[in-house]
């Protein structure tokens, strides 16, 4: 859709249905200068989507109301063509025996919306023979669809009844709701009349709030069914995603693991179902790698990437390779990290995240090399050739620098081998062999004979 043709209006304060139901009235204030008050810190605001009025007289207010109607039309929330509610009712079916809620379904999905689901909807409400809505989600949340939890009394009864009558996860329908199933027989004067209202509704998404929790109560054979798997995993993943966005990474990982368990129990019957289960398992492994990366648990990131590699060719999976790299960075194994980052970059040469990760890694390696070089140069600064006469005592700076170096090696989590520089004096080598015994998991490794003899400090994992 061409954004330049979009129009809309924003009330200075969103409409609160609870206030309408519980108060003796409510005032609506149209903020025609809302665009000027846009905050740069609010990423949801877009100048192109805001109504720009230049005056506040009655004609401008009328234009604002017209723009709401136009927005409703673009979102397919406009009032349908009809002569009267009675004529429209003849085309509708009853949602409940009393006839207080009637429905006309324009399109719908395959599964009924659960009574306790979280729904994301747009709606607009109209009085009879009026083309301008008196209540609409278009005036809330900066024009974005609004989420509601069913069964909590947030919505009027008739709207909840209608939502649990259609099949989702996407649907469009009209509801004719009598006062008894809306705001009551007396309405909420002066704004809400004691009259029937027509709601045009667009169901955008459905989240099955308790589906994942109910899985354990199902019989074993029911748990294995493909449809049950898909529905349960969708609910569990949605909850995990919400937790992740709130930076509750540990709880998000827990829900992703639940999804993994459900997927592994599933018994698909067709190749298409098997491929979808495999795709979902791979997706969960990646999401778990992301969670553990945020939690800075590299070993678990590696485990998730290994599991992903058993499900698919990891050499062709960019995200898997990328998180291998991140895990090795956290472990201080920079060569391994660089190898996986470069593999990922070959798959997606224009991926900015991979490019930045490689750049950051280069800086880390450069800083680490400089630090290590300086450390060992300082440690062995007293080294001389064999002909030079020196005192038998080991220099205190040598001891201090050696101690700092060994402490650094001990603190590393992975296996480490560091080659000592050649040309050390015998007394320095003897001191190192004696001193290394004071450090847990460090040992001196000798390799070769004579002039080819090499000494290394090894950090073991035992």
Per-block mean pLDDT, blocks of 10 residues, the chain (462 long):
42 50 49 39 31 38 56 64 83 91 92 84 91 87 86 86 90 94 85 92 84 77 90 87 90 90 91 94 95 93 93 93 94 90 92 88 74 58 43 68 79 72 76 82 75 74 58
Which of 173, 208, 243 is at the close of a domain? 208
- How far is 2 from 74, CA to CA, in rounded Å? 12
Residues 247 and 356 in one domain: yes
Helix (H) or strand (E) holding 35: none
Whether residue 263 lies inside any domain: the answer is yes
Whether residue 375 lies inside any domain: the answer is no
First-residue to last-residue Cα distance in the chain: 63
Residue span of the structural domain in which 98 resides: 85-208
Q: What pTM was computed for the model? A: 0.48
Whether residue 132 lies inside any domain: the answer is yes
Whether the Cβ atoms of residue 388 and residue 428 lie closer than 8 Å to each other: no
Whether residue 224 lies inside any domain: the answer is yes
Residues 318 and 358 in one domain: yes
Residues 358 and 295 in one domain: yes
For the chain, what is the domain count? 4
Residues 227 and 163 in one domain: no
Pairing of strands 197-207, 111-112: unpaired
> How many residues does this entry show for the chain?
462
pLDDT at 66: 57
Helix (H) or strand (E) holding 453: none
**Sheet of strand 454-459, all strands in order from the earlier edge strand to the far edge:** 416-419, 454-459, 442-447
- How far is 19 from 32, CA to CA, in rounded Å? 23
- How far is 9 from 50, CA to CA, in rounded Å? 6
pLDDT at 386: 39
CB atoms within 10 A of CB 52: 12
Residues 216 and 352 in one domain: yes
Residue 115: give its domain's CATH number: 3.10.50.40
Residues 253 and 309 in one domain: yes
> Cα torsion for 226, 232, 234, 235, to the nearest 10°?
170
Whether residue 79 lies inside any domain: the answer is no
pLDDT at 298: 92
Residues 251 and 348 in one domain: yes
Residues 241 and 289 in one domain: yes
- How far is 220 from 347, CA to CA, in rounded Å? 41
Residues 94 and 11 in one domain: no
Whether residue 197 lies inside any domain: the answer is yes
Residue 394: give its domain's CATH number: 3.30.1370
Q: What is the three-class DSSP state of 297?
A: coil
Which of 331, 363, 395 is at the close of a domain? 363
Residues 238 and 269 in one domain: yes
Whether the Cβ atoms of residue 358 and residue 341 lie closer than 8 Å to each other: yes
Residue 242: give its domain's CATH number: 1.25.40.10
Which of 23, 48, 74 is at the close of a domain? 74
Looking at the DSSP bridge assignments, the partners of residue 136 are 124
Residues 160 and 259 in one domain: no
Whether residue 356 lies inside any domain: the answer is yes
Whether residue 373 lies inside any domain: the answer is no
Residues 268 and 355 in one domain: yes
């Amino acid at each position: 859709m061409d954004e330049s043709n979009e129009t809309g209006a924003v009330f200075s304060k969103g409409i609160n249905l609870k206030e309408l139901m519980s108060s003796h009235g409510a005032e609506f204030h149209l903020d025609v200068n809302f665009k000027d008050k846009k905050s740069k810190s609010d990423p949801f605001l877009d100048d192109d989507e805001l109504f720009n009025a230049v005056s506040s007289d009655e004609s401008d207010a009328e234009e604002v109301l017209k723009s709401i109607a136009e927005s409703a039309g673009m979102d397919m929330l406009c009032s349908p063509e009809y002569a009267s509610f009675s004529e429209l009712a003849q085309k509708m079916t009853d949602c409940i025996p009393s006839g207080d809620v009637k429905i006309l379904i324009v399109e719908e999905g395959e599964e009924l919306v659960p009574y306790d689901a979280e729904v994301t909807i747009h709606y607009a409400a109209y009085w009879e023979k009026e083309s301008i809505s008196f209540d609409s989600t278009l005036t809330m949340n900066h024009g974005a669809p609004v989420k509601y939890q069913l069964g909590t009394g947030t919505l009027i009864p008739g709207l909840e009844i209608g939502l649990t009558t259609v099949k989702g996860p996407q649907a469009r329908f009209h509801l004719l709701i009598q006062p008894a199933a809306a705001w009551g027989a007396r309405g909420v004067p002066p704004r809400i009349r004691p009259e029937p209202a027509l709601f045009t509704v667009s169901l955008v998404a459905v989240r099955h709030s308790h589906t994942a929790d109910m899985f354990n109560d199902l019989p074993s054979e029911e748990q294995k069914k493909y449809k049950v798997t898909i529905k349960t995993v969708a609910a569990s993943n949605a909850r995990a995603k919400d937790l992740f966005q709130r930076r509750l990474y540990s709880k998000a990982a827990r829900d992703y693991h639940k999804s993994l368990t459900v997927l592994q129990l599933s018994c698909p019957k067709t190749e298409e179902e098997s491929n979808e289960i495999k795709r979902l398992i791979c997706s969960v492994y990646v999401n778990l790698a992301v969670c553990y990366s945020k939690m800075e648990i590299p070993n678990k990131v590696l485990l998730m990437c290994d599991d992903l590699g058993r499900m698919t060719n990891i050499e062709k999976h960019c995200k898997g390779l990328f998180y291998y790299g991140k895990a090795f960075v956290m472990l201080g194994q920079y060569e391994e990290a660089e190898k996986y980052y470069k593999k990922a970059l070959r798959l997606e040469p224009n991926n900015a995240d991979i490019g930045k990760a490689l750049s950051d890694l280069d800086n880390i390696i450069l800083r680490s090399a400089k630090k290590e070089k300086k450390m060992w140069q300082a440690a062995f600064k007293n080294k001389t050739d064999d002909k030079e006469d020196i005192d038998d005592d080991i220099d205190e700076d040598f001891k201090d620098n050696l101690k700092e170096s060994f402490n650094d090696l001990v603190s590393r989590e992975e296996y480490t081998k560091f080659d000592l520089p050649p040309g050390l004096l015998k007394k320095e080598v003897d001191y190192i062999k004696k001193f290394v015994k004071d450090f847990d998991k460090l040992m001196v490794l000798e390799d070769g004979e004579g002039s080819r003899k090499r000494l290394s400090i090894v950090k073991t994992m035992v």
